[in-house]
Amino acid sequence: MTEPELLKSKTGTRLHITGCPHTDKSALIPAAESEISELEVCSWCAAEIAGHGRTYFDTLEDALDELGAPKESKPKLAGLLREAEFDRIYVPNSRSYVSVTRGDQTVAYAGKTYVTYVDDRGTVELPGYVATSGSGGTASVETQWGEPCPRCFMARSMNGTCGCG
């Protein structure tokens, strides 16, 4: 395997590879040999170079298997992802989603029960999708507590118990 070209911005103090999410790729230039020996590689790029970052796949089905998508959802997820024009498929180290990219820019990504397009198409929810507080869905933890205890003023659990008594 050949080492990827190391890049930097004109005023940057770290080295990057193509596709680094920390940079504006249009502002990157090849790093000089002296800069390669002097500057540190950003942590995201270092993980990629070491093979601990993204895992790239040839097929959506293989990527969805790695994600652990439910068997019944895989055909629909793959079909929805194929609606985006892409040239690369990867799963990040966290194994939390599958991303499809075109020219190193994400065009769509899928979790186990949804596909989100970066353009104006938004998110397509599949059966089993559970919204999170960040997406406007389920109640936050704070609203799941009962009234405060009149003696110790701690929030009580929903069954009315607290730590003081």
The residue extents of the domains of the chain are 7-50, 55-128, 131-165
- Do 116 and 110 contact (CB within 8 A), yes or no? yes
Q: Which of 137, 109, 139, 110 is nearest to 126 (CA)?
A: 110
Please, which residues have CB within 8 angstroms of residue 13's CB and are 6 or more apart in sequence?
39, 40
pLDDT of res. 165: 57
The per-residue pLDDT for range 110-158, each reduced to its tens digit, is 999 999 999 989 999 998 888 765 554 444 444 566 677 777 776 766 6
**Residue 66 burial (10 A CB sphere; 0-12, 13-18, 19+):** middle
Supply the pTM of this predicted model. 0.58
The per-residue pLDDT for range 77-107, each reduced to its tens digit, is 999 999 999 999 999 877 889 999 998 788 9
Does position 162 have pLDDT exceeding 80, yes or no?
Answer: no
pLDDT of res. 15: 92
